[in-house]
A and B are shown apart, each in its own frame.
Chain A
Amino acid sequence: MSAYILRRALQGIVKLVIISFIMFVLTNLSGDPLSQYTNNPRIRAEDRERIRAELGLNQPIPFRYVGWIKKAAVGDFGFSFSERRPVIQMIGERLPDTLLLMVVAETVLISLSLLVGIYQATHQYGLADNLLTGFSFVGISMPVFFVGLALLLIFAVQFKLWNKAGATWLPYLPTGTAVWDRSQVSNWVYYMILPVATLVIIQVAGYARFVRSSVLEVLSQDYIRVARAKGLIERVVVARHALKNAALPFITIIGLDIPLLLAGAVVTESVFSWRGMGRLFINSANNSDFPVVMGILMLVTVAVIFFQILVDVIYTLFDPRIKLA
């Protein structure tokens, strides 16, 4: 087991090196961080060249890459071009907010899709089942920002209008979520409902559909018939015997969908002005702030690779028949 994890980790490191090289070349070709000074009469051309040399941008890209990866390997991602602060510090400020959004959204997502999926499986071809299957197609077809904007418009803008127009009992939610008082617990709910709901809505129906089909498959197995035959009540059959086996493919999907969720979080953050890593990435990419872009890319990739390995390890814990070679 530990030998397997070690080998996967080594493969992961090789992947990381390949990715970092490709992305380093792409980002460094993608623009000139000093372009913002080109039309500034206060900054002379020679100063611009001096800054360029200071930032090391006058060296050839492969050379820059070697310098970058030597430091990155020990966790030093350098300084942001635009803010002159360590990249680690900048990401560190934004990461908790992104994690907060993702963890809450993922928790709601998983529990809700399990509930709905099991309900659908145990009430196959009922009205609710058919409706939810239809809804799952609509759900996966909607762009994240469309869902976010729609929620924002209804529950923040329109509700506020109605509230001001006299329906004072009607609560309304905030449009932006950038700065809020973290000391009050009620604020957390108030500011997080819409972003979390956005991330949940686009995924929940698809996940529920997935849970439904894997529970259905397990329910047709012989050992379920045995469990029923020996007189177990249906709830125990589903909860103890069916769910445990149906959970395996679900875990895989969740683990492998982490990149999707991260991308969804980037969009959601920008719709709700959430102060997370996704918005930092967009802004840095727009400003050609390469060190920050590379730092976030590496962090995201490490997370993806980590979850890929984790999924395989969890597999063996849930299903002893699988041997990791």
Chain B
Amino acid sequence: MATLAPTSPAERTAKEIADARIKVLTPGQLAWRRFLRHRAAVLGLGGMIALILFIIIGTVLVPVRRANKPNPANMLDNPTPISQWFTGESADVHPFGTDATGRDIFARIIYGGQISLVIGLLALSLGITVGVVVGGVAGYFGGWIDGTLMAITEALLCIPQLFLLIVLAKLFGSKIPAITLSQDYKISGSVIIVILVIGLTSWMYLARIVRANVLSLRERDYVAAAEVLGVSKIKILFRHLVPNTFAPIIVSATLGLVGAITNEAYVSYFGLGVQDPPTASWGNMINNALSYMQRSPPVWWVWFFPGIFITMTVLFINFIGDGLRDALDPRRRV
């Protein structure tokens, strides 16, 4: 039987060598190890997972009616004390209080969080796509293409992003009809506009980074080899060059996500972002609260909870970003 046959000395040594060798780690595993050693980054990752779980479980447990249906009976109710959260009549329990039209702020945090995070992720993807394409094309093709694209990029970088956001938000306006998910749940078309506006104002830094990387990468031998083999330019750019700029893309993606979430808050704060009704977002919750700022006794809960959730989210992502920066830096060893 072949399986019972004694192994030859040569085979045995090969096996012994393999066993004796230190476990080889891929660059990804190394980066993951470095990430885990970064305490704040692990905290951020844990916090972010908890936050996403909170929103998912909340969506399942809390009906969307509570977030969106005005209820004149309990306008500007104080937050319910924790001792009564599980004992009181569920319609009267408002862990974070209610807003000026009697909508439950706890539920609005959950549904607003969905919107804010989705806007953040989609706007980020749009920003990354534009940034990678502009930076990649400019860096690889060079010449007048590079000149034109970079002139536009540099020019746009001179305008503070908030000013750009306001002009663009005004430009697109709220002309897209609402999307109806269910009888109780409509998503305002303004969500799509906010995604477009934020995505289109946040690609410039990444474009610059990708271009700089592509400029040096395109001189490598493997690119020359690909060219000789007749690989098309587009394919060289997106299959061979762009993937090599992965690390800076990931790092700036975390910054971009932070930017997208705060920018959503800013445009919505100015009333140019997500429209309410029908859709809650953390930003427009604060905007709604503005009229009640000077009320006495203060109704702090209407703006405090969305504010603290924005802050927490941004803080967690910043921590993750800090860890990623360290983890993806190949000069650092574990």
Assembled-state Cα–Cα distance A23/B168 (Å): 9
Selecting from B16-24, B210-218, B296-304, the interface stretch reads B296-304
B contact residues, total (Cβ < 8 Å): 43
Given contacts A143-B310, A153-B298, whether A262 and B168 have CB atoms under 8 Å apart is: no
Contacts of A18 in B (CB 8 A): 151-152, 155
* Contact pattern, A 139-165, Cβ under 8 Å of B = 1, otherwise 0: 011110110011011000110110000
Contacts of A296 in B (CB 8 A): 163
List which A279-295 residues lie within 8 A (CB) of chain B. Answer: 281-282, 285-286, 288, 293
A143 to B158, Cβ gap below 8 A? no
- Measured between C-beta atoms, what is the minimum distance from B304 to chain A in Å? 8
* Cβ-based interface call for B262 (8 A): yes
A15 to B293, Cβ gap below 8 A? no
Contacts of B156 in A (CB 8 A): 19, 22
B318 to A137, Cβ gap below 8 A? yes
B315 to A285, Cβ gap below 8 A? no
* Cβ-based interface call for A138 (8 A): yes
- Measured between C-beta atoms, what is the minimum distance from B41 to chain A in Å? 12
B158 to A305, Cβ gap below 8 A? yes
A141 to B159, Cβ gap below 8 A? no
Contacts of A29 in B (CB 8 A): 171
* Cβ-based interface call for A27 (8 A): yes
* Cβ-based interface call for B162 (8 A): yes
Nearest-neighbor residue (CB-CB) of B289 within chain A = A149
Contacts of B286 in A (CB 8 A): 145-146, 149
* Cβ-based interface call for B329 (8 A): no
Selecting from B55-63, B136-144, B265-273, the interface stretch reads B265-273
A: contact size bracket: 35 or more
* Contact pattern, B 311-328, Cβ under 8 Å of A = 1, otherwise 0: 110110011000000000
Contacts of A270 in B (CB 8 A): 270
* Contact pattern, B 103-127, Cβ under 8 Å of A = 1, otherwise 0: 0000000000000000000000000
Nearest-neighbor residue (CB-CB) of B316 within chain A = A141
Assembled-state Cα–Cα distance A282/B152 (Å): 25
A175 to B315, Cβ gap below 8 A? no
A285 to B170, Cβ gap below 8 A? yes
A-B pairs, top 9 by smallest CB distance, nearest first, are: A263-B162, A259-B160, A30-B171, A146-B307, A141-B315, A141-B314, A18-B155, A30-B170, A263-B160
Q: Write the residues of chain A forming the contact surface with B, with a CB cutoff of 8 angstroms.
A: 14-15, 18-19, 22-23, 26-27, 29-31, 137-138, 140-143, 145-146, 149-150, 152-153, 157-158, 160-161, 175, 259-260, 262-263, 266-267, 270, 281-282, 285-286, 288, 293, 296-297, 300-301, 304-305, 308
A-B contact pairs, 27 of them (CB 8 A): A15-B158, A18-B151, A19-B158, A19-B159, A22-B156, A26-B167, A30-B171, A30-B173, A137-B319, A140-B318, A141-B258, A141-B314, A143-B262, A143-B311, A146-B286, A146-B310, A153-B300, A157-B294, A160-B296, A161-B297, A259-B160, A260-B160, A263-B162, A266-B163, A270-B270, A300-B163, A301-B159
